Amino acid sequence: MAAINFDFSNSEIPPGVNEPVKLRIIHVILISTAVVGKILEKIGICSQISFVRYMQGIKALGADQKLFIEDLWFEKVPYHSFSYFCCLLLCIRYRLAPEHKYPAAYEDCLHASIHFMKNAEHYGVDPAQISVCGDSAGGNLAAAVSQTLAGRADLPRLRAQILIYPILQALDFNLPSYKQNQAIPLLFQERAAFYVLQYLNGNSSNLEQVLEGSHIPIDIKLNYRKWVSEDYIPERFKVRGYKPHVLLDCSTEVYETVKRFCEPNLCPLLAEDAVVQQLPESFILTCEYDVLRDDGLLYKKRLEDNGVRVTWCHLEDGFHGIINSFNSEWMSFSSGKRGLDNIVNFLKSL
């Protein structure tokens, strides 16, 4: 009952959201899982984060006799291998925050990618047909890895990058989508900022400053406004009551704790044009009712401005995390199925 009360008191689900009742049920389950985890932590059984990860990990894949699954290692980096006919999918089990701070996850994904690309033929894979993919935080890592690998003459060129509602910057949590969707499940504005801080240094003490935009000096923010600005968000995405945010300055002490937010390996939207120009063909999926929508829109513009071919899928009634529910029949969403179909069609077209 407490979880239900919290959901109705703190979240907002606009009429345009896909299947709102089902979304509320999922949100209540997630809240309940977090509460149970906190109770277990209090009585000394396990940490809250360990319990939440355990519950997320027990979602079984649908039975398919044609799907072959292995748990393997690239040197010190574990991964899941999924083989289905002529397709091979490798899911990197990178180290997680807050136990492992930036750049641990990025380094794991990069090292695993390089190892696979150098040994693609050993796995029966055409080196010219390797793509990277990730959703949410994984989308951040996929984008960062793609940028690092761009232009490397000692490796095959990536065929494509697939970014599913990625988080790509931490300079401005007051872009239109962050304000319009700040209380829409499954990712609140405050949670997005909290997770980024956890990834950066495992410390959320500067959460208030990050949310209000007083964590980056004005001169630095102005320097990056050529890439991170509401001015580049199409007007049709500002109709739900968005009001421009006033620029705030920050103290030296606060900036010192978060200055790595300006590193492209952490915030790929800030990469130089020379790097962006070398990126492979890209697929970007965004959702209207997602705080991360504008990160995807801004990156789409950057890629297109630099001559990179982009296939864009926008789910008008979608929300953050909608693709993840495709495998559970009672939790699946028709909009999420459409998004997944678009990803599959993109892969088939390569």
Whether the per-residue pLDDT at 278 is higher than 80: the answer is: yes
Which of 186-190, 310-314, 324-328, 342-346 has the weakest average pLDDT?
324-328
At residue 294 the predicted structure's pLDDT band, cuts being 50, 70 and 90, is very high
Residue-wise pLDDT for 18-43, tens only, equals 899 999 999 999 999 999 999 999 99
Residue-wise pLDDT for 113-142, tens only, equals 999 999 999 989 999 999 999 999 999 999
pLDDT of residue 65: 57
Backbone angles phi, psi at 312, to 5 degrees: -115, 130
Mean pLDDT on 55-77: 68
Residue-wise pLDDT for 2-18, tens only, equals 778 888 888 999 999 98
Strand duo 87-92 + 281-289: pairing? unpaired
Token readout for 336 is 């999420």
Residues annotated as catalytic are: 136, 290, 320
Provide the β-strand partners of residue 77.
74
At residue 144 the predicted structure's pLDDT band, cuts being 50, 70 and 90, is very high
In terms of C-beta density within 10 A (0-12 exposed, 13-18 middle, 19 or more buried), how is residue 244 classed? Answer: exposed
The rounded distance, in Å, linking the Cα atoms of 3 and 287 is: 25
At residue 232 the predicted structure's pLDDT band, cuts being 50, 70 and 90, is very high
With beta carbons less than 8 A apart as the criterion, state whether 325 and 313 touch. Answer: no
Query: What's the residue count for the chain?
Result: 350
Strand duo 131-135 + 160-164: pairing? parallel
The rounded distance, in Å, linking the Cα atoms of 15 and 317 is: 9
Residues 6+ apart with CB under 8 A from 294: 175, 176, 177, 178, 230, 233, 237
pLDDT of residue 201: 93
At residue 67 the predicted structure's pLDDT band, cuts being 50, 70 and 90, is low
Whether the per-residue pLDDT at 62 is higher than 70: the answer is: no
With beta carbons less than 8 A apart as the criterion, state whether 151 and 278 touch. Answer: yes
Instruction: Locate the DSSP E strands across the chain.
Output: 67-74, 77-84, 87-92, 131-135, 160-164, 281-289, 310-319
pLDDT of residue 140: 98
Mean pLDDT on 329-347: 89
Closest CA to 137 of 179, 98, 175: 98
Which of 37-41, 43-47, 274-278, 323-327 has the weakest average pLDDT?
323-327
Three-state SS sequence of 128-156: HHCEEEEECHHHHHHHHHHHHHCCCCCCC
Token readout for 170 is 């931490």
The rounded distance, in Å, linking the Cα atoms of 17 and 235 is: 20
At residue 64 the predicted structure's pLDDT band, cuts being 50, 70 and 90, is low
Residues 6+ apart with CB under 8 A from 26: 185, 186, 325, 331
The rounded distance, in Å, linking the Cα atoms of 233 and 94 is: 32
Long-range contacts of 148-152 (CB under 8 A, 24+ apart): 148/110, 148/265, 149/110, 149/113, 149/114, 149/117, 150/275, 150/278, 150/279, 150/280, 151/275, 151/278
At residue 153 the predicted structure's pLDDT band, cuts being 50, 70 and 90, is very high
Mean pLDDT on 65-80: 74
